[in-house]
Amino acid sequence: AVLRLTTTTAELRERALAALAACGVDTAALTAEGERAAAGGERVVTARTPLTGEDLFPLVASTPDHVDEAVAQAVSAFTTWRTTPAPVRGFLVKRLGALLVEHLEHLAALVTVEVGKTPSEARGEVQEMVDVCDLAVGLSRQLTGRTMPSERPGHRLQETWHPLGPVAVVSAFNFPVAVWSWNSALAVVCGDPVVWKPSELTPLTALACTALAERAARESGAPEGLFPLVLGDAEVGRRLVDDPRVPLVSATGSVPMGRDVAARVAGRFGRTLLELGGNNAAVVAPTADLDLAVRGIVFAAAGTAGQRCTTLRRLLVHTSVADELTRRLVEVYRRLPVGDPTAPGALVGPLVAPRAAEAMEAALAQAVADGGEVLVGGERVLADDAPAARYVRPAIVRMPAQTDVVRTETFAPVLYVMTYDDLADAVAVHNDVPQGLSSAIFTGDVREAEFFMAADGSDCGIVNVNIGTSGAEIGGAFGGEKETGGGRESGSDSWRAYMRRATNTVNASHELPLAQGVDFG
Ligand code: NAD
């Protein structure tokens, strides 16, 4: 099914401006300054929508001076914030969570306009922000260190966790608000201001979130400068990550971006938290519940038009169930409603930009050259309704082997299907890619499930059983190994990345025994 476009760029512009204004952004000033900058030949960031592929309006881009000033504001806020008790810092995040609930529909509308997500997925992303605020508020009373027994009488050994300093957050287009909240809700509770450089494709959602965060800060009596925002492309990002006043850079995006950022930050001995590309696979075993597997696979592979870092891109199916599973998947793919994400029943919206469609076309051509067979999808739809946009039918490709194109992350809805006979071989193929983000096995056999989760099983940061690769909850630590970058965000003990650890030895005795029994006169 193809869903015709029901909106125009002018309507989407009005929808975005109304949502921004509701979140507290002065839209008259914003658009006037953007127009002035564009007319004066200054650098701008152009807000656009993948629904029609057209521009909405220009915004002033940050200059190097703006970036330096943003970091200066964060440094200044840090001097007060680091000594504000953590539970008091939690008040700010509690207020932010309440504002996010109040403005859930406004933010979701902006996510749909800027990224093309269906309203349900857009709301889900904002809900994730609310959830992580809840987690952070609880954490504000649980930033615990350990005590260890000292080998010396009358001595105590303990660790204390302190705020780290301004955190730079560089984020990707595809989770324009959730990734910021994973970082900032935790960082702010940990005592760190956050300087945010969102994707140049998603400036509007960033402006709305920042307005709400600043309001939460004002209303909870926090200092100014906790949430500076800079807008621009990779050049603006580089200026920020190179700043020695920023002890931690949390960067989400492609592997080439992470490679550049990691080297730059390591060069000045800063810390990085990297959340980079994935090339996620699922194994479907002979005992799998195929009804459940089909639903899990289609959501993970075609949801968000294949533009999640956790999108399912590779399927390893046991030969005994391969034909039936593929037939059922192809049937569902043929019926997938593709098109206007705001139309009732829509499941697959647009790709973010023509570049993504070109990458998909090139990957499909290469897969066919490698001996693959496109079983369904890959074709462009709505080309007449929206010539500047890129809507595509998600594709399934049967591959004879895991060739280079399969080992590469193409950020579009392409699912490569391969077969296996022996689970150990399947796991070897599964792990034979440079990325290590998310993985899944569909099986009714507890031994197979345990093997997949064991030390010699999947090498990913996320290993699921009887559930797809995408759609993580915030309670767990999120992130992956190898080229995915090794970072962990959100739940569990991820908060530690935003703090520095001090080890304290306290002597409450009248003696001075030295460690390891050393005698010094
Ligand atoms: P991208 O790498 O093109 O851009 C990401 C961000 O980095 C943008 O803000 C961009 O301006 C900035 N940037 C790019 N080069 C930079 C540089 N050298 N220095 C500083 N900043 C720089 O990625 P994208 O197209 O926006 O997002 C898609 C990619 O992100 C996919 O590879 C996807 O898997 C990945 N991703 C990963 C996760 C995760 O949690 N692991 C989450 C979302 C997206």
ipTM of this complex prediction, to 2 decimal places: 0.98
Residue 319: alpha-carbon gap to chain centroid: 34
Ligand 1 first shell, C-beta below 6 A: 170-175, 197, 199-200, 233-234, 237-238, 241, 252-254, 257, 260-261, 275-278, 309, 409, 411, 437, 484
> What is the C-alpha end-to-end distance of the chain, expressed in Å?
86
Distance CA 309, CA 307 (A): 7
Which residue in 452, 472, 478, 304 sits closest to 313, CA to CA? 304
Alpha carbon distance 307, 338 (integer Å): 14
pLDDT at site 288? 98
pLDDT at 20: 98
What CA–CA distance (Å, rounded) separates 435 from 7?
38
Rounded-to-integer distance, Cα 328 and Cα 325, Å: 5
For 434-463, what is the HEC assignment? CEECEEEEECCCHHHHHHHHCCCCCCCCEE
SS3 at position 405: coil
Both tokens of residue 205? Answer: 């959602």
- The position carrying tokens 């919206």 is 349
482 and 459 Cβ atoms separated by less than 8 Å: yes
Residues 6 or more apart whose CB falls under 8 angstroms from that of 138 comprise none
d(CA 183, CA 283): 31
235 is known as an active-site residue: no
Q: Which H or E run contains 482?
A: strand 481-482
> What is the Rg, in whole angstroms, of the alpha carbon atoms belonging to the chain?
24
Query: Cβ atoms within 10 A of the Cβ of 117, count?
Result: 27
Q: Where are the alpha helices (DSSP H) in 175-289?
A: 178-189, 203-219, 234-241, 255-267
What is the rounded CA–CA span in Å between residue 41 and residue 343? Answer: 38
∠ CA 107-164-147, nearest 5°, is 115
If you search the block for the tokens 């003696």, which residue do you land on?
A: 511
Please give the distance, rounded to the nearest whole angstrom, from the Cα atom of residue 276 to the centre of ligand 1. Answer: 7
The residues that bridge with 194 in the sheet, in sequence order, are 167
Tell me whether residue 397 is exposed, middle or buried, using C-beta atoms within 10 angstroms of its C-beta: 0 to 12, 13 to 18, 19 or more: buried
Which residue CA neighbors atom 21 of ligand 1 most closely? 237
Contact 169, 183 (CB under 8 A): yes
Q: How far is the CA of 172 from the centre of ligand 1 (A)?
A: 4
Q: What is the pLDDT of residue 261?
A: 98
**Within a 10 A sphere around the Cβ of 101, how many other Cβ atoms?**
13
- The one-character DSSP state at 348 is B
Catalytic residue among 214, 275, 448, 483: 275
- In tens digits, the chain (521 residues) has pLDDT values of 899 999 999 999 999 999 999 999 999 999 999 999 999 999 999 999 999 999 999 999 999 999 999 999 999 999 999 999 999 999 999 999 999 999 999 999 999 999 999 999 999 999 999 999 999 999 999 999 999 999 999 999 999 999 999 999 999 999 999 999 999 999 999 999 999 999 999 999 999 999 999 999 999 999 999 999 999 999 999 999 999 999 999 999 999 999 999 999 999 999 999 999 999 999 999 999 999 999 999 999 999 999 999 999 999 999 999 999 999 999 999 999 999 999 999 999 999 999 999 999 999 999 999 999 999 999 999 999 999 999 999 999 999 999 999 999 999 999 999 999 999 999 999 999 999 999 999 999 999 999 999 999 999 999 999 999 999 999 999 999 999 999 999 999 999 999 999 999 999 999 999 999 999 98
Of 435, 437, 492, 493, nearest in space to 470 by CA: 437
Ligand 1 atom 35: residue of nearest CA: 253
How many of the other CB atoms lie within 10 Å of CB of 256? 12
DSSP assignment of 128-166: HHHHHHHHHHHHTT-----EE--SSTTEEEEEEEEE---
Ligand 1 mutation pick, 62, 132, 174, 408, max ligand atoms within 8 A of CB:
174
Amino acid at 443: T
277 Cα to the center of ligand 1, angstroms: 8
Contact 496, 187 (CB under 8 A): no
What is the best residue among 67, 309, 494 to mutate for testing ligand 1's pocket, by most ligand atoms within 8 Å of CB?
A: 309
3-state secondary structure of 76: helix
Angstrom distance (rounded) from CA 457 to CA 128: 29
Burial of 95 (0-12, 13-18, 19+ CB in 10 A): buried
**Calpha distance 149→156 (Å, rounded):** 7
Residue from 502, 500, 474, 480 nearest 185 by CA: 474
